[in-house]
A = this chain, B = another copy of it.
Amino acid sequence: MAKKDRKAPRPKAETPKGFRDYFGAEVSERKAMLDTIAQVYHRYGFDPLESSAVETVEALGKFLPDVDRPNEGVFAWQEEGGDWLALRYDLTAPLARVYAQHRNDLPTPYRRYAMGPVWRNEKPGPGRFRQFYQCDADTVGAPSVAADAEICAMLADTLEAVGIERGDYVVRVNNRKVLNGVLEVAGLLDPADPAAQAAERGIVLRAIDKLDRLGPDGVRALLGEGRKDESGDFTKGAGLAPEQADTVMGFMQATRASAAETLATLRALTASSVTGTEGVDELAQIADLLAAQGYGPDRIVIDPSVVRGLGYYTGPVYEAELTFEIMGEDGKPRQFGSVAGGGRYDDLVKRFTGQAVPATGVSIGVDRLLAALAATGKTGARAPGPVVVTVMDRDRMADYQKIATELRAAGIRAEVYLGNPKNFGNQMKYADRRGSPLAIIQGADEAARDVVQIKDLVLGAQIAENASLEEWKANPAQSEVPRADLVATVQRMLAGS
**Any B CB within 8 A of the CB of A71:** yes
From residue A479, how far is it (CB to closest CB) to chain B in Å? Answer: 23
9-residue interface stretch from A11-19, A337-345, A366-374, A468-476: A11-19
User: Which A residues, 71 to 99, have Cβ-Cβ distances below 8 Å to chain B?
Assistant: 71, 75-77, 79, 83, 85, 87, 97-98
Cβ-closest chain B residue relative to A108? B419
B contact residues around A411 at 8 Å (CB): 43
Say which one of A54-62, A237-245, A486-494 lies at the interface with B: A54-62
User: For A58, A109, A418, which residue has the most chain B Cβ atoms within 10 angstroms?
Assistant: A418
Complex contact A52–B143 (CB within 8 A)? no
Is A117's beta carbon under 8 Å from chain B?
A: yes
Determine, out of A181-189, A255-263, A398-406, the stretch whose residues face the partner at the interface: A398-406
From residue A497, how far is it (CB to closest CB) to chain B in Å? 18
Q: Are B415 and A45 in contact, CB atoms less than 8 angstroms apart? A: yes
Question: Which of A20, A412, A415 has the most CB atoms of chain B within a 10 A radius of its CB?
Answer: A415
The smallest beta-carbon distance between A78 and chain B, in angstroms, is 9
A144-152, A169-177, A203-211, A446-454: which lies at the interface:
A144-152
Contact of A15 among B22, B101, B153, B418 (CB under 8 A): B101
Instruction: Establish whether residues B351 and A418, one from each chain, have CB atoms under 8 Å apart when the complex forms.
Output: no
Given known contacts A13-B100, A44-B408, A419-B142, A398 and B49 CB-to-CB distance under 8 angstroms = no
Given the interface pairs A107-B434, A418-B146, the reply to whether A153 lies near B405 with Cβ below 8 Å is yes
Instruction: Answer whether residue A458 sits at the interface, using C-beta atoms and an 8 A cutoff.
Output: no
Q: Please determine whether A56 and B293 come into contact, CB atoms closer than 8 angstroms.
A: no
Q: Nearest residue in B to A103 (C-beta to C-beta)?
A: B13
- A234 interfacial by beta-carbon distance below 8 Å: no
Does A416 belong to the interface (CB within 8 Å)? yes
Which chain B residues lie closer than 8 Å to A288 at the CB level? 398
A119 an interface residue at 8 Å Cβ cutoff? Answer: yes
Q: Does A438 contact B (CB under 8 A)?
A: no
Q: Is A283 an interface residue (CB 8 A)?
A: no
* Candidates B45, B54, B75, B399; contact of A54 at CB < 8 Å: B75
Assembly CA distance A8 to B141 (angstroms): 26
Given contacts A42-B413, A109-B419, A149-B401, contact A49 B77 (CB under 8 A): no
* Chain A interface (Cβ < 8 Å from any Cβ of B): 8, 10-17, 19-24, 26-28, 31, 42-45, 47-56, 58-59, 61, 64, 71, 75-77, 79, 83, 85, 87, 97-98, 100-102, 107-109, 111, 117, 119, 130-131, 139, 141-144, 146-147, 149-150, 153, 288-289, 291-294, 351-354, 385-386, 388, 397-399, 401-402, 405, 408, 411-416, 418-420, 430, 433-434
- Could you write out 25 A-B pairs with CB less than 8 Å apart? A13-B353, A16-B85, A20-B52, A21-B49, A22-B51, A23-B102, A26-B50, A27-B49, A28-B48, A43-B411, A53-B119, A53-B131, A71-B77, A75-B85, A77-B77, A107-B430, A107-B434, A108-B419, A111-B415, A139-B418, A144-B397, A153-B405, A288-B398, A292-B401, A293-B401
